[in-house]
């Protein structure tokens, strides 16, 4: 569960955007500018290209520009060009390449073959990512190039595998293919090289430029087991959370402990103090420092006071549980070690941020908060359509009147089968994966653990059809509303015809039809 990912991503990027400056258009550049007329020919002439699709007014594009330029200069010597396309001038080219936001980074192997760039937007990360793309999934290792290969990247994974062990070689190659975007892989079958490195065949060694510098895996060559080991071995005992590392921590699949500190000196001291704790719990929890001056606002997402530092909290991204440490207490290794152990042992109740439960429900849409979520969304036999929104979200504001209209369709008897609800996902902890606003999900009766996310147009009709098609009760709110409208019109017409106070003629059938439609 990673419901707060959008907020931390924006927080981690905010300071960068603010401090970024435009690169001069007149300055020499190693980034190649392409247009519709030059794009295809350039891609055909180069085996591997990283392309940025941008808009001149985009703040994130401006923040990326100097880093992209730095990476282009370093990669130029490796014959890996970096290019850019101005989407305000080349709308058709950007549309043809599926660009929906800025900046969009894509890797091209010819004009017709592309895939998204999924690395961090830092110069060294871009260089590392593109070098991996330029190499085969598994590079050969010899006695002469071993030392160079070991230092080609921050993380290098080398397989020491005998040539006659086909199963081991196939497993390692398959794993390398699946993870080539994330790690650099190499292999050798030379037993003399393995002996010189102090390992037996078959085994895998992960080389890194931090902590103990080297980790050895000699377990079962199962892809899931190897991946788990690589993730653990490649993570610093006490790292630092920032734009280039955040996604890795979130993808690790284990809890993350944050140490918020305002100065570099504090963070360095905490790093040393907490290394023994991190070593003890390696593979069970990651521990990292975070710059409280730059990213302190994120403390609020962990239910900490974002104005009081240093601070400590644990968060489990998979369960979206948060464990803030009492901010009136000192942050020291002894007490934090006990707190971490208690959290891992399930002795600490997670903190839940929630607005007060409304005393009464005002309006047709049911308001859900964290403390009423289980009751109103999960523990009932209704089909529940839930909108996760943010008060500042313009799209959410535009949806509001339509969502009210939708909710009104399920009044009366239908209210026992369908609930149309909403929750402020910025003010309440929610056990759902939210990547943008508004996010709308249907929780069908009897299958609450398998919600269906809505991706259609935000019209009353389409939302009602979605509820009917995916809900257990198959309620057609539009049809029910139409029937009520017709019945109401008939009653009105009958009362009007029998009234002695009106001299107006009875409506014709055509006029009734027009009125009913309105």
CA separation, residue 405 to residues 364, 431, 461, 514 (Å): 8, 27, 10, 21
Query: What is the rounded CA–CA span in Å between residue 260 and residue 292?
Result: 5
Beta bridge partners of 31: 82
Backbone angles phi, psi at 282, to 5 degrees: -60, 130
Query: What is the rounded CA–CA span in Å between residue 68 and residue 22?
Result: 12
Structure tokens at 379: 């523990």
Tell me the pairing of strands 155-160 and 203-208: antiparallel
Tell me the pairing of strands 155-160 and 184-188: parallel
- Cis? peptide before 480, omega within 30° of 0: no
Structure tokens at 370: 């964290």
Tell me the pairing of strands 311-316 and 321-324: antiparallel
Q: If we measure between CA atoms, which residue out of 209, 248, 256, 246 comes closest to residue 231?
A: 248
Structure tokens at 78: 């490796």
Q: Are 50 and 107 in contact (CB under 8 A)?
A: yes
Q: Which residue has the tokens 């007060």?
A: 356
Query: What is the rounded CA–CA span in Å between residue 379 and residue 211?
Result: 48
Q: If we measure between CA atoms, which residue out of 95, 78, 84 comes closest to residue 62?
A: 84
The separation between CA 110 and the C-alpha centre of its own chain, rounded to angstroms, equals 29
Query: What is the rounded CA–CA span in Å between residue 416 and residue 425?
Result: 25
Radius of gyration of the chain (CA): 29
Q: Are 7 and 301 in contact (CB under 8 A)?
A: yes
Q: Report, as residue numbers or ranges, the catalytic residues.
A: 58, 61, 393, 396
The separation between CA 62 and the C-alpha centre of its own chain, rounded to angstroms, equals 22
Q: What distance, in Å, lies between the first and last C-alpha atoms of the chain?
A: 44
């Amino acid at each position: 569960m990673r419901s707060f990912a959008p907020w931390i991503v924006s927080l981690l990027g905010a300071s960068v955007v603010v401090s970024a400056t435009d690169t001069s258009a007149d300055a020499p550049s190693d980034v190649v500018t392409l247009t519709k007329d030059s794009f295809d020919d350039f891609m055909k002439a180069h085996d591997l290209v990283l392309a940025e699709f941008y808009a001149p007014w985009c703040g994130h594009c401006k923040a990326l520009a100097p880093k992209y330029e730095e990476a282009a200069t370093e990669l130029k010597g490796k014959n890996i060009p970096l290019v850019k396309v101005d989407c305000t001038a080349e709308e058709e080219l950007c549309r043809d390449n599926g660009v929906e936001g800025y900046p969009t980074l894509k890797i091209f192997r010819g004009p017709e073959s592309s895939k998204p760039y999924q690395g961090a937007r830092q110069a060294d990360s871009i260089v590392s990512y593109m070098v991996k793309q330029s190499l085969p999934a598994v590079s050969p290792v010899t006695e002469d190039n071993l030392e160079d290969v070991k230092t080609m990247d921050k993380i290098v994974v080398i397989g020491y595998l005998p040539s006659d062990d086909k199963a081991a070689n196939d497993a390692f190659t398959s794993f390398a293919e699946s993870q080539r975007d994330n790690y650099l892989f190499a292999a050798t079958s030379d037993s003399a090289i393995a002996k010189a490195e102090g390992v037996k065949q078959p085994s895998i060694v992960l080389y890194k430029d931090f902590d103990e510098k080297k980790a050895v895996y000699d377990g079962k060559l199962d892809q899931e087991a190897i991946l788990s080991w690589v993730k653990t071995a490649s993570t610093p005992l006490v790292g630092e959370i920032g734009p280039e590392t955040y996604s890795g921590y979130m993808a690790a699949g284990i809890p993350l402990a944050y140490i918020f500190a305002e100065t570099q000196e504090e963070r360095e001291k905490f790093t040393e103090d907490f290394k023994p704790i991190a070593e003890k719990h390696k593979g069970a929890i990651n521990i990292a420092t975070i710059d409280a001056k730059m990213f302190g606002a994120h403390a609020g997402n962990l239910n900490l006071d974002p104005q009081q530092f240093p601070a400590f909290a644990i968060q489990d991204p998979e369960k979206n549980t948060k464990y803030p440490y009492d901010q009136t207490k000192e942050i020291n290794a002894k007490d934090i070690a006990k707190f971490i152990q208690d959290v891992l042992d399930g002795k600490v109740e997670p903190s839940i941020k929630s607005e007060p439960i409304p005393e009464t429900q005002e309006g047709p849409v049911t308001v859900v908060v964290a403390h009423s979520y289980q009751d109103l969304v999960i523990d009932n036999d209704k089909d529940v359509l839930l909108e996760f929104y943010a008060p500042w979200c313009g799209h959410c504001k535009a949806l509001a009147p339509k969502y009210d209209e939708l909710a009104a369709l399920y009044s009366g008897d239908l209210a026992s089968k369908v609930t149309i609800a909403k929750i402020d996902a910025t003010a309440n902890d929610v056990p759902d994966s939210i990547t943008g606003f508004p996010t709308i999900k249907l929780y069908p009766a009897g299958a609450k653990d398998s919600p269906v996310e809505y991706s259609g147009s935000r019209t009353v009709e389409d939302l009602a059809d979605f509820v009917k098609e995916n809900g257990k009760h198959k309620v057609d709110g539009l049809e029910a509303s139409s029937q009520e409208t017709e019945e109401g019109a008939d009653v009105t017409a009958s009362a009007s015809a029998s009234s002695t106070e009106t001299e107006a003629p009875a409506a014709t059938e055509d006029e009734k039809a027009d009125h009913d439609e309105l």
